[in-house]
């Protein structure tokens, strides 16, 4: 499993990449491997405000349907519309073109509640 060391992670298998005033969010390589082939992603609307831990959508795969949870509070600034036609990008490139949403964080200090890559690797064993 690929676990990039520059990202932060949740126990629910989302990753967060903090860049200036924006957080890019997706699901981990481990999550996509457990789900199997992703066939549909339900996205929230741009402009929706999230609170850390809120469900913001679903990933539907061959094996299961899984809710997506916000790793940080903030306002959604973008959704990855490319995934509407090609949701399988999440399987082939979960940390790159397979990102899900971008958020303008309301409380950047919440990132202290997330796991670094070592803690996440310990979680997934």
Tokens at 62, concatenated: 């061959």
Partners of residue 18 on adjacent β-strands = 23
Please tell me the predicted confidence (pLDDT) of residue 1.
Answer: 79
Tokens at 106, concatenated: 């309301």
Class of domain 8-124: mainly beta
Please tell me the predicted confidence (pLDDT) of residue 12.
Answer: 96
**pLDDT for 75-121, tens place per residue?**
999 999 999 999 999 999 999 999 999 999 999 899 999 999 999 99
**pLDDT for 43-76, tens place per residue?**
999 999 999 999 999 999 998 999 999 999 999 9
Please tell me the predicted confidence (pLDDT) of residue 50.
Answer: 97
Residue with tokens 């298998």: 13
Between CA 92 and CA 89 the distance in angstroms is 5
Q: Confirm whether pTM is higher than 0.85.
A: yes
Please tell me the predicted confidence (pLDDT) of residue 63.
Answer: 85
Helix, coil or strand: residue 40:
strand
């Amino acid at each position: 499993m690929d676990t990039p060391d520059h990202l932060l992670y949740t126990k629910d298998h989302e990753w967060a990449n903090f860049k200036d005033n924006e957080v890019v969010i997706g699901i981990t390589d481990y999550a996509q491997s457990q789900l199997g082939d992703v066939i549909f992603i339900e996205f929230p609307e741009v402009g929706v405000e999230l609170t850390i831990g809120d469900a913001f959508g679903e990933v539907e795969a061959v094996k299961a349907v899984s809710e997506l949870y916000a790793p940080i509070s903030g306002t959604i600034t973008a959704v990855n519309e490319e995934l509407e036609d090609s949701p399988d990008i999440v399987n082939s490139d979960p940390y790159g073109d397979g990102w899900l949403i971008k958020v303008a964080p309301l409380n950047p200090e919440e990132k202290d509640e997330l796991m670094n890559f070592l803690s996440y690797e310990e979680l997934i064993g």
